[in-house]
Amino acid sequence: MTEQPSPSPQPGEPPSPAARRLLLVHAHPDDESINNGATMARYAAEGAHVTLVTCTLGERGEVIPPGLAHLSGAALGQHRMGELAEAMRALGVDDFRLLGGAGRYSDSGMMGLPDNDDPGCFWQADVDQAAGLLAQVILEVRPQVLVTYDDDGGYGHPDHIQAHRVAMRAVELAARDGWDLPKVYWNRVPRSVAEAAFARLDDDLPALPFDKAGEIGDVPGVVDDALVTTEIDGTAYAAAKAAAMRAHATQITVAEPYAPYFVLSNELAQPLFTTEYYELVRGARTPGGRESDLFAGTGTGSGTTAGTGEAS
């Protein structure tokens, strides 16, 4: 039986120590579904309180469908906010927020473009100020687990790098002000898993609605297997993840009928992972193989471990 979701703490009221609370920090709408959709759906279904903080509305994203190609700037941002809400419904997540409120920070565009110099873009944000806004969320929700990107943002996008900086600084600020967050993870994909998935993609490509396959370098956060500490089996939530990704229609096309592949605006097919992988960078790792629960060792999760390293 599915547990009832853990209630969000009321202002001034500490949350129950036993309630599991997961916070994810992402740069744009769609990043959460691609990187963590199965994890979010699984924990939401199991009764954890899942909170998503998105730092921008992705106003400079490239639009895939011709019928939506007229969208740009603020209009695209508003549309993507609607896509985000639909994706969260697919994942069963009720608590999703824009850092500082909608429009506080705008999309910075790809690294090296003049867009990076826009004083209102996230790349130009004062890290301590933005981290202070996120720390307020941490102090309200008091998550045991935070998930974000590594220091390269997974693939070098300025907003992803900035989301990493802001998230890690917010953890420090929240600890100073009373909530020492037990565990922080970075998104990862083991190299062996990526290699196996792209080998399958090469075999499956003739039957897909896509013409060309991408490369491992197109997948953010691919690292040597030894760096991966945690794998979350979300295969039971594959349909929810695919639905969430499909909701981000301006940015993602998922193979139809359902197949574990998708394309972004570059039209290069890549795998849709339903087992999702992480590197623990703050907090104590439980003994044994890879963790199979982000909450392991926090006193709120199962604390079980697994470590097959198999592709999914």
Q: What is the DSSP string of 115-173?
A: GGG-TTBGGGS-HHHHHHHHHHHHHHH--SEEEE--TTTTT--HHHHHHHHHHHHHHHH
**Of 167, 156, 233, whose CA–CA distance to 26 is shortest?**
167
| Whether the Cβ atoms of residue 276 and residue 38 lie closer than 8 Å to each other | yes
With vertex at residue 77, the alpha carbon angle to CA 237 and CA 170, rounded to the nearest 5 degrees, is 70
Helices 73-91 & 31-45 angle (0-180, nearest 10): 30
The answer to whether the annotation marks 70 as part of a ligand binding site is no
The answer to whether the annotation marks 160 as part of a ligand binding site is yes
Q: How far apart are CA 35 and CA 91, in angstroms?
A: 13
| Whether the Cβ atoms of residue 76 and residue 48 lie closer than 8 Å to each other | no
**Of 200, 229, 231, whose CA–CA distance to 216 is shortest?**
200
Give the residue ranges of the annotated binding site. 28, 31, 160
Give the residue ranges of the annotated binding site for Zn(2+). 28, 31, 160
